[in-house]
Amino acid sequence: MSADSKESKATGTGAVLGGVAGGVTGGMAAGAAIGGMTGPVGAAVGAAVGAVAGALAGKGVAKADPVVENQYWRDNYSSRPYVQPGSSYDDYGPAYTHGVSAYERYPNRSFDEVEPELSKDWGTTRGSSKLEWDHAKHASRDAWQRLSDRVERAVPGDSDRDGR
């Protein structure tokens, strides 16, 4: 199959970050156009338009593609330091999913702030995982941190207040 005949489909982190860059750039261009046309008032309106576009783009980065996240963790879980010998992805997968969904539910809080709530929820979200929360929380934190880092790379700032 030639490169010309392959279908091109933008998915995953690259597509999200490309969308963020396009959204921020578009917002800046709109702001500059408005500012150039109407002086200081237009510049203020343009800055607001750019800020809204950037905020919406940042929100889009926080949304995780469950298929992409599942595949990432399936491919990488065994290299994580908290994985117990003899464990399978079936034990850790629900914990990663728990961390991803928690980050999306609590995007402006730190993992440590919501960990007590996640601990309580683990009994209903664990599925067939054999892990107790004391072990599952490390995988949940890892998935949370992966999303948090993605947002902070795309939108400057310390969104999870972890000092990074």
**Model pLDDT, residue 41:** 57
For residue 43 the two structure tokens come to: 């510049």
Q: Quickly state the pLDDT bin for 10 (edges 50, 70, 90).
A: very low
**Domain identity same for 108 and 123:** yes
**Domain identity same for 84 and 137:** yes
Is residue 159 one of the residues assigned to a domain?
A: no
Instruction: Say what angle helices 89-105 and 66-76 make with each other, to 10 degrees.
Output: 140
Is residue 4 one of the residues assigned to a domain?
A: no
Q: Look at residues 27, 42, 61 and tell me which one is the last residue of a structural domain.
A: 61
Q: How far apart are CA 152 and CA 60, in angstroms?
A: 12
Decide if pLDDT at 109 tops 80: yes
List all residues 6 or more positions away from 148 whose beta carbon is below 8 Å from its beta carbon. Answer: 103, 159, 160, 162
Measured over all CA atoms, what is the biggest interatomic distance in the chain, rounded to whole angstroms?
A: 67
**Domain identity same for 147 and 112:** yes
Per-residue model confidence as pLDDT tens digits over 46-75: 555 444 444 444 444 457 898 999 999 999
Decide if pLDDT at 134 tops 60: yes
**Domain identity same for 33 and 90:** no
Decide if pLDDT at 94 tops 60: yes
Is residue 95 one of the residues assigned to a domain?
A: yes
The arithmetic mean of pLDDT across residues 149-154, rounded, is: 80
Decide if pLDDT at 104 tops 80: yes
How many distinct structural domains can be found in the chain? 2
Decide if pLDDT at 125 tops 70: yes
Decide if pLDDT at 158 tops 50: yes
Q: For the whole model, what pTM was predicted?
A: 0.61
**Domain identity same for 140 and 75:** yes
Q: What are phi and psi of 36, to 5 degrees?
A: -65, -25
Decide if pLDDT at 146 tops 50: yes
